Amino acid sequence: MPENSTAAVAGFFLPELPRLLPYAYHPQAAQIEIASNGWVRRFLAESFATEADLLFFLRQRNGIYGPLTVPHADRQRAQDIADWYQYVTVIDSSVSDCSTLGGSAEGAVKVFTQILADFGTGMPTDGEFPYGRAGQDLWRRISPGLSQAQIGRFTASLESFLNGCTVEISAKLRDRTPDYESCMAVRLDSFGCDFIELMTEYGAEVDMTELIPELAEVHLHCRRQMTIFNDLLSWRKERAQDDKMTVVRVLTEVEGLGLQTTVDRLCVLVEEHERAYIAARERLLTGPLGSRPDVRRYLSGLDYLMGGSQEFEYLTPRYFGDGAAWDGSTSGWVDLNAAVTRFRSRP
């Protein structure tokens, strides 16, 4: 019955969201995206079954997520970050695909164990393993710009992400939709929040490791705002792939709400978390930590991370279908059954 109530609805209306945070494109966003596509081809082509699958991935423009989330970073760091996000998005895409990593939790764990074994070591354990070579290349480029403490967090963040991916695979294979807080806990991992924060530090050239407790509240609302907005924009794709770990499915299937009611409630939550983030960030800026230039730089980085992440999700054909071309609109009716959709003025 809740299954049917979702299936019967062909779409939803996404209202204009407040977008209280700034966003900007890195001035070299276009070049970074192109170079990053070249990096994916060089390092990760073999992880795609065919050239067509690789092109399908590149058309999603995941290479512009980096330049959108660290718009003020040094060019090389922005490039490293762009490549990193492509790397984890290749893995994430494979997790959602039942014909590859998504087909078996045990198989995925085996691959993830090898990824982690290769990551941070001098040489890949198997030179033919594309995830290993790509991870190594990123490690070599990024870790020299991190402190010892950040390097430890770098590996741990990849592990959290892969654990989140494993839980998502299992939930899907067992056809199990979790409750809201359980879902959110997994999503914060599988969305990669740990490395997203670390990449924000890397882009801003700061080390926030010792301040993580003080940053708990800004991080909490930042993470939830990003995750909920992502689940809204990605619902067309996640639904088509039968992914269980999305708050849209939680509200419709577990809590029994209609799809539009769910969307409206999640939009309220996006705004609430955005405002709570801003309030928490203001308290930090006006408190004793607010006089530290590194803290100010990092918090500004979080602002642009949230704003840029949202911009990317409007933009990417990953969510609205292969072949979509964004025209800048940010509100309208979303058709869940169309192969390619966009924000329409009418349902």
Closest approach of a second copy to the CB of residue 300, in Å: 19
Candidates 259, 263, 324, 334: give the one binding a second copy (CB under 8 A).
324
Does the protein bind a second copy through residue 47 (CB under 8 A)? no
Should residue 30 be labelled a site residue for a second copy when binding is judged by CB under 8 A? Answer: yes
Residue 59 touches a second copy, criterion: CB under 8 A: yes
Total residues contacting a second copy by CB under 8 A comes to: 26
- Is 186 a binding residue for a second copy by CB under 8 A? The answer is no
**What one-character-per-residue DSSP string does 3-65 give?**
HHHHHH--EEEEPPP---S-----TTHHHHHHHHHHHHHHHHGGGSSSHHHHHHHHTTTGGGH
Residue 181 CB-density burial (10 A; 0-12 exposed, 13-18 middle, 19+ buried): exposed
Is 55 a binding residue for a second copy by CB under 8 A? The answer is yes
Residue from 15, 18, 38, 287 that binds a second copy (CB under 8 A)? 38
Among 5, 17, 19, 31, binds a second copy (CB under 8 A): 31
HSE-CB for 33 with a 13 A CA cutoff: 21
Tell me if 70 contacts a second copy by CB under 8 A: no
Closest approach, Cβ 290 to a second copy, in A, equals 30
**Least CB distance from residue 83 to a second copy, whole Å?**
13
Among 99, 328, 345, 346, binds a second copy (CB under 8 A): 328
Q: Is 58 in the site for a second copy (CB under 8 A)?
A: yes
Q: How far apart are CA 83 and CA 43, in angstroms?
A: 10
The DSSP line for 300-342 is HHHHHHHHHHHHHHHH-HHHH-TT----S---EEEESSSSS--
Residue from 12, 14, 21, 37 binding a second copy (CB under 8 A): 37
CB of 330 to a second copy, least distance (A): 11
> Quick check: 190 and 167 in contact, CB under 8 A?
yes
Angle between helices 193-204 and 180-190 (to 10 degrees): 40
Nearer to a second copy, 38 or 152 (CB): 38
The single residue among 286, 329, 331, 337 that binds a second copy, judged by CB under 8 A, is 329
Q: Which of 106, 96, 238 is nearest to 165 (CA)?
A: 96
Beta-carbon count within 10 A of 125 CB: 10
Binding site for a second copy (CB under 8 A): 25, 27-31, 34-35, 37-38, 40-41, 55, 58-59, 64, 67, 315, 323-329, 340
